Amino acid sequence: MILDNECVFCKIISGELSSNKVYEDESVLAFEDANPQMPHHVLLIPKEHYASVADGVPEVLLGKLLAAAPKVAQICGIDQTGYRICINTGDDARQTVHHLHLHLLGGAKMPINMGAVD
């Protein structure tokens, strides 16, 4: 497993920092966002460090991240009501942690003007 010692998400993966874990498998870790934008705001991250979706992420790993999202939605109880999946890529897209992550948001009616997710 390749981790970046300076990356906050890699520190969560290694156990150096704590998180409110929602889901975990061999490739993916999902935990509650520290600054939630919706009643349910979960981050899904690969257990290997990739700065963004544009960082040569293997297609199989991207598939595993996306496949984990409905599982997390079910755990959160929002699988029947709806949810949004968002990936910010790069500074202009407001990616604040440069470790690939999916935002899974739900638990209430999504605001029409909700664009980028920090």
Q: So which residues are the catalytic ones?
A: 101
C-alpha 84/C-alpha 79 separation (Å) is 11
- Helix or strand or coil: residue 33? coil
Q: Which residue has the tokens 């009501």?
A: 81
Rg from Cα positions in the chain = 13
C-alpha 44/C-alpha 24 separation (Å) is 9
C-alpha 105/C-alpha 49 separation (Å) is 23
